[in-house]
Amino acid sequence: MAHFPKKLTAKIEKRHQDDALRILPSVGQLVDFSSNDYLGFAREKTISDTTFRYLTSSTAPRNGATGSRLISGNHEFYEQLERTLVQVHGSEAALVFNSGYDANLGFFASVPQRGDVILYDELIHASIRDGIQMSNANNFKFAHNNIEDLQDTFDRIRSKLIEDTVIYIVTESVFSMDGDTPDLQALVDFSSENGCHLVVDEAHAVGVFGTNGAGLLQELGLAEKVFARIITFGKAFGCHGAAILGSNGLKEYLVNFARSLVYTTGLPPHSVSTILAAYDFMGAGEGHGKKEHLHATIQKFKGELLNFQLQAVFIPSNSAIHCCLVPGNQQVKQVAQKLQEKGFNVKPILSPTVPKGRERLRFCLHSYNTDTEILEVVSLLSHLIPSA
Ligand SMILES: Cc1ncc(COP(=O)(O)O)c(C=O)c1O
């Protein structure tokens, strides 16, 4: 076998020293407090049955997409899904990508041009950061969920802008590693007052918020005020893939310039019809019941945090993601391990995934978590960490 470069070995050793080595976990049977399957759609038989019906009714059945969407891969389910997305999410157009990672890479690497400016929340997802790295635009971060800092950052660069500079402001409606939400109304107002284009990643909000899971912007009546929304299907919708919602002009542009769409094989018919089946399930009312159940679970969890006086060590959240700060990689790993030994799959989130000193336990809540499970896991946690 070819020699493994020493430089790479050194990087792995550094990860060991920092207690930050990532390993692929084995499959277990613990109580799920870690997956993004917030509504249980990934395990929903009605959805797989509907998918099967879609596939068997196909006029041109095939196992794979057979090519890029621009060559031979744009099978019938893609068009059906994009029509559904436009309807449910109330956008002019929708463009499906292979994953949220691909959607963010494709958008940020191609849309902001040289001379444009990207102002981004300091905690935005790695996929957005990677897309920004590939862009020729200038980028500046602002403090997390902090409109004043956004204003200061904007004021600092304002004098350097030229006439045709386009400014993009980027945030998430539910932050993936914090579960919290920015003041979206304030961001919409700021963007319109200053002529900026707001882009919101709704990966952890679709399915959980909004009519038929249309997302938090839709729930707040702000969907039409943003330039683009990124939604993903691998979380509450329990499938795989993503879409960018925006204008017809944006869709046409992305089809031409988003390299993560152009230069990759499309999703297979099975994946796309599973997303369609998940939207059917959501719209048929059963999904709505799961969504209501999830929100009851969230309230139950928050209630137990109050009962056990743990709310001060948690990042405030109304979403399905609740994070308990346990600074230090070693410390947070130890607490997570004890929870896992007692049967609860709670994951530690280590630095450098989150800033040093902000390491945390990330509790993902689901429509299928029972009151007893929640009581037990919070009670156990209260014995493992000092309350504040
Ligand atoms: C906010 C956010 N955006 C994008 C992604 C990437 O989505 P996907 O898993 O579909 O690649 C994630 C995934 O964790 C995410 O949390």
Which tens digits make up the pLDDT trace of 183-217? 999 999 999 999 999 999 999 999 999 999 999 99
User: In terms of domains, do 31 and 178 share one?
Assistant: no
What pLDDT is stored for residue 42 in this prediction?
A: 98
Q: Using the predicted structure, report yes or no on whether residue 221 has a pLDDT greater than 90.
A: yes
For the domain that residue 277 is a member of, what is the CATH number? 3.40.640.10
Residue 12 falls inside a structural domain? no
What pLDDT is stored for residue 128 in this prediction?
A: 98
User: In terms of domains, do 279 and 359 share one?
Assistant: no
Give the tokens for residue 24. 């692929």
What pLDDT is stored for residue 249 in this prediction?
A: 98
User: In terms of domains, do 127 and 262 share one?
Assistant: yes
User: In terms of domains, do 151 and 213 share one?
Assistant: yes
178 in ligand 1 pocket by Cβ < 6 Å?
no
Please give the average per-residue pLDDT across 114-127, as a whole number: 97
Q: Using the predicted structure, report yes or no on whether residue 360 has a pLDDT greater than 90.
A: yes
Last residue of one domain, picked from the residues 283, 304, 332: 283
Q: Using the predicted structure, report yes or no on whether residue 356 has a pLDDT greater than 70.
A: yes
Mean pLDDT, the chain, rounded, equals 96
Report the percentage of the chain scoring pLDDT > 70: 99
User: In terms of domains, do 252 and 294 share one?
Assistant: no
Q: Residues with Cβ < 8 Å from 223, sequence gap 6 or more?
A: 89, 90, 91, 214, 215, 217, 229
To the nearest 10 degrees (0 to 180), the angle between helices 269-283 and 76-89 is 30
340 in ligand 1 pocket by Cβ < 6 Å?
no
100 in ligand 1 pocket by Cβ < 6 Å?
yes
Contact 93, 86 (CB under 8 A): yes
User: In terms of domains, do 367 and 249 share one?
Assistant: no
User: In terms of domains, do 274 and 303 share one?
Assistant: no
172 in ligand 1 pocket by Cβ < 6 Å?
yes
More confident call, 19 vs 231: 231
For the domain that residue 31 is a member of, what is the CATH number? 3.90.1150.10
Report the percentage of the chain scoring pLDDT > 90: 93
Last residue of one domain, picked from the residues 228, 260, 283: 283
Q: Using the predicted structure, report yes or no on whether residue 1 has a pLDDT greater than 90.
A: no
Residue 124 falls inside a structural domain? yes
Nearest to 81, CA basis, from 252, 256, 274, 290: 274
Nearest to 319, CA basis, from 348, 346, 298, 296: 298
Instruction: Tell me, in angstroms, the distance from the centre of ligand 1 to residue 364's CA.
Output: 15
229: Cα separation from own chain's centroid = 11
Q: Using the predicted structure, report yes or no on whether residue 387 has a pLDDT greater than 60.
A: no
What pLDDT is stored for residue 134 in this prediction?
A: 98
Q: Three-state SS for 307?
A: helix
Please give the average per-residue pLDDT across 281-294, as a whole number: 94
User: In terms of domains, do 273 and 320 share one?
Assistant: no
Please give the average per-residue pLDDT across 273-280, as a whole number: 98
Instruction: Tell me, in angstroms, the distance from the centre of ligand 1 to residue 158's CA.
Output: 31
What pLDDT is stored for residue 388 in this prediction?
A: 52
User: In terms of domains, do 124 and 31 share one?
Assistant: no
Last residue of one domain, picked from the residues 264, 283, 302: 283
pLDDT tens figures, 53-78: 999 999 888 999 999 999 999 999 99
Contact 47, 238 (CB under 8 A): yes
pLDDT tens figures, 308-322: 999 999 999 999 999
Q: Which residue has a Cα nearest atom 8 of ligand 1?
A: 100
pLDDT tens figures, 20-44: 999 998 877 899 999 999 999 999 9
User: In terms of domains, do 63 and 148 share one?
Assistant: yes
As for how many domains the chain has, the answer is: 2
242 in ligand 1 pocket by Cβ < 6 Å?
yes
232 in ligand 1 pocket by Cβ < 6 Å?
yes
Residue 81 falls inside a structural domain? yes
User: In terms of domains, do 157 and 120 share one?
Assistant: yes
Residue ranges making up the domain that contains 69:
58-283
Global confidence as pTM? 0.96
pLDDT tens figures, 125-165: 999 999 999 999 999 999 999 999 999 999 999 888 888 99
Q: Which residue has a Cα nearest atom 10 of ligand 1?
A: 100
Contact 84, 283 (CB under 8 A): no
Q: Using the predicted structure, report yes or no on whether residue 110 has a pLDDT greater than 70.
A: yes
Please give the average per-residue pLDDT across 365-387, as a whole number: 94
Single-letter amino acid, residue 48 = S
Contact 167, 117 (CB under 8 A): yes
